[in-house]
Amino acid sequence: MINNKKIIVVLPAFNAEKTLKQTFDEIPLDIVDEIILVDDNSSDTTYELAKKLKINHIIRHDINSGYGANQKTCYNKALELKADIIVMLHPDYQYTPKLLHSMYYLIANDLYEVVLGSRILGKGALKGGMPLYKYFFNRLLTLVQNILMGQKLSEYHTGYRAFSSKVLNQIPFKNNSDDFIFDNQVIAQVCFEGYEIAEITCPTKYFKEASSINFKRSCIYGIGVLVTSLKFFMAYYLNVNIKLFKKN
User: Residue 212 has what pLDDT?
Assistant: 59
User: Residue 248 has what pLDDT?
Assistant: 60
The enclosing H or E element of 244 equals none
CA angle 124, 67, 123 (to 5 degrees): 5
Q: What is the DSSP letter of 112?
A: -
User: Residue 15 has what pLDDT?
Assistant: 95
Q: Which CATH superfamily is domain 7-245 in?
A: Spore Coat Polysaccharide Biosynthesis Protein SpsA; Chain A (3.90.550.10)
Classify burial at 43, counting beta carbons within 10 Å of its beta carbon; exposed 0-12, middle 13-18, buried 19 or more: exposed
Q: What is the DSSP letter of 15?
A: S
User: Residue 207 has what pLDDT?
Assistant: 57
User: Residue 211 has what pLDDT?
Assistant: 56
Backbone angles phi, psi at 138, to 5 degrees: -60, -50
Q: Domains of the chain: which residue ranges?
A: 7-245
Cβ–Cβ under 8 Å, residues 11 and 35 = yes
SS3 assignment, position 62: coil
Cβ–Cβ under 8 Å, residues 31 and 8 = no
User: Residue 3 has what pLDDT?
Assistant: 84
pTM of the model: 0.92
User: Residue 209 has what pLDDT?
Assistant: 57
CA–CA distances in Å: residue 163 to residues 39, 61, 63, 64, 124: 21, 24, 27, 25, 23
**Per-block average pLDDT, block size 10, for the chain (248 residues)?**
90 96 95 97 97 97 97 98 97 93 95 94 72 83 96 94 98 96 97 97 72 74 95 96 87
Cα 204 from Cα 128, distance rounded (Å): 5
